[in-house]
């Protein structure tokens, strides 16, 4: 009589995602490496700085001399209102480049190389956002410098100006996550830029960036008062022009935290699906 023996079933190998096994220290280190890569791209392509180098100079001078007399009576009286508005507009416009460049890298297959590497999933996204802090700093510095050259003298002094600059840079960093998400879900760099402009124009121009709110019709004023950009601009004005930390500063910081809490996970989820 023959006894048949059957081998015990072999368990299927468990697949591990090398991206999810990266620790916090490695994630921070890889994010800085990706940020350094992004800064090298900026140095090799100086045209990436055109928006932060030319736009503050051009828009500040153009808006001041075109609208200054009509809105405030003269250019110098209009500068305290204008400079803070230009800061918000320039920062938001600079954020658009984050999504466009991300989409270009994805279209070129750069991110495909990260699939087989033990790289944290957040590092390729957070690195360029960290590197763009340089762009926000340049844009903020040039905007204030242009205003000073035209006669802008903020009553907040050095502490107020520095506080306003830090707030604008922090807001730019948080808003960059929105355009990072747009860059991932967009089908091309052109579509990403088009969608980003549709977001940017209402937020910047339908706000208190360039005109006093009380001069607007009631139906438009209602949107301006709930526009998050208006809260940021008001907080920056309070800091730079008066050296005052008001409730608007708290609302602006809270808005930044909410934006990052929403769009950073959305970007990670979209990035995971894209890979």
Per-residue pLDDT of the chain (275 residues; tens, 9 = 90+): 455 455 444 444 434 444 455 667 787 888 888 888 878 777 777 666 777 778 788 888 888 888 888 888 888 889 988 898 888 888 878 888 888 888 888 887 777 776 666 777 788 888 888 888 888 888 888 889 988 988 899 988 899 999 999 999 998 888 888 888 988 888 888 888 888 888 888 888 888 888 888 888 888 888 888 888 888 899 999 999 998 898 988 988 998 899 899 998 998 888 888 76
CA distance 157 to 139: 19
Contact present, 172 and 91 (Cβ < 8 Å)? yes
Helix/strand/coil percent split, the chain, to 5: 80, 0, 20
- CA-closest candidate to residue 92, choices 16, 146, 22, 143: 143
CA distance 144 to 121: 37
Backbone angles phi, psi at 132, to 5 degrees: -70, -10
Joined together, the tokens standing for residue 50 give 């055109």
CA distance 33 to 109: 19
CA distance 12 to 274: 27
pTM value is 0.81
């Amino acid at each position: 009589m023959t006894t048949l023996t059957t081998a015990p079933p072999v368990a299927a190998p468990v697949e591990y995602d090398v991206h999810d096994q990266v620790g916090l220290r490695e994630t921070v280190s890889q994010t800085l490496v990706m940020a350094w890569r992004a800064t090298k791209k900026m140095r090799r392509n100086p045209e990436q700085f055109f928006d932060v180098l030319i736009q503050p100079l051009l828009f500040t001078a153009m808006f001041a001399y075109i609208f200054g007399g009509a809105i405030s009576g003269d250019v110098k009286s209009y500068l305290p209102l204008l400079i803070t508005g230009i800061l918000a507009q320039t920062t938001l416009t600079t954020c658009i480049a984050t999504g466009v460049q991300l989409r270009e890298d994805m279209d070129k297959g750069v991110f495909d190389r990260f699939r087989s590497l033990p790289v944290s999933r957040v590092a390729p996204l957070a690195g360029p956002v960290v590197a763009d802090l340089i762009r926000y700093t340049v844009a903020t510095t040039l905007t204030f410098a242009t205003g000073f050259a035209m006669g802008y003298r903020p009553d907040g002094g050095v502490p107020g100006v520095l506080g306003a600059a830090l707030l604008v840079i922090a807001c730019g960093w948080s808003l960059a996550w929105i355009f990072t998400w747009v860059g991932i879900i967009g089908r091309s760099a052109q579509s990403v830029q088009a969608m980003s402009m549709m977001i940017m124009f209402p937020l910047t121009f339908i706000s208190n960036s360039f005109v006093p709110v009380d001069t607007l019709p009631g139906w438009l004023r209602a949107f301006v008062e709930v526009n998050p950009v208006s809260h940021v601009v008001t907080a920056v004005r309070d800091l730079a022009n008066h050296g005052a930390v008001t409730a608007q500063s708290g609302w602006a910081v809270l808005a930044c935290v909410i934006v990052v809490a929403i769009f950073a996970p959305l970007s990670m989820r979209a990035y995971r699906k894209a890979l």
